[in-house]
Structure 1
Amino acid sequence: MQTKISRLSATEKAIEVIWELEKKYGDLMFYQAGGCCEGTQPQCFEKGGIFPRMNDAMIGTINGHEFWIDRDLFEYWKYSHFTLDAVDGFGPGGFSLETPLGKTFKVNYRLFTQEELQNLEPVKRSE
C-alpha cells in the first residue's frame, strides 16, 4: 500500500515557535481565513479559540495541532502543498498567538505533481 501524500508540512523555524507556544498555551490550532483584517495569513489560537465554519477544511496537523482552512480558500489552493513557516515581524491583525514573540506565521505553497494528486491524504470537513 502506498503512503498518502501530506498536504501540510512545517519548517524548523515554525516548529520552534510552535514549541514555545505549546509551553505557554498547551493545545493549539491553526486557522487560515480567506480575507478581512488578517488577509490569508495563518493564525494560531489556543485549541477551541476559533470555530471553523461549516465545510471548512482541515488539511493536516502540525505537532498534533489541527490546521484548518476557510472553505473558499481551500477550493482555490486544493492542488497545493502548504508549508508553514515563521518569520520575524508582525502579521496583519495581530490576533495570532505568536505576535507577542515578534514572529508571524506564513505559508509557502507549491503545486502538487500529477503523481502526488493521485494519492493525497483526505481532507476533513467541519459540519
Structure 2
Amino acid sequence: MDVEVELSRIIINETSDQQIIVLKERHGERAFPIVIGIVEIFAIDRRLKGITPPRPMTHDLLANVIDGLGAQVQRIVIDDLREHTFYAKIYLQVNGRTVKIDSRPSDAIALCAAINAPIFVADHVFDKTGP
C-alpha cells in the first residue's frame, strides 16, 4: 500500500553536495530523510518559496514537456530502498492510460514541487527506514 507524504523539512548545507529532505506521512507519524543533490534541493526550495525563475529550469522543462504531450502527473511513488538507495516512479496519465517512469526520488520530488503533484511512499519503504 502507498502512503501519502509531505515534505516535512528541507535541510540545506551550502558547503556540501549532499542535502537532506525529510518526508513525513500526511496522516501519521512516520518520517525518514533522503539525501539529495544541491541542484535538486535548490529547485525544491525555490518552488516552495514561490520563486519562479525567469527561464525554465530542468524540472520546469520536464513539467512543460509532460504538459505539451497532453499528459498529467498523477503522483510519484518512492517504491523501494535497496543498498541505501531510494527508487521512485512518476505516474503519468496519458490518453486514458497510466505510464510509469523510473526516476530518482529527488528529481520526482522536484517535479512535484513544480506542479503540486502528490508524493507517496510504499509502506514497505517505511519499514526499511525504521527507527
TM-score by length of 1: 0.31
Q: Which has the higher helix share?
A: 2
Structure with bigger RCO (C-alpha 8 Å, 6+ apart): 1
Q: Which has the higher strand share?
A: 2
TM-score by length of 2: 0.30
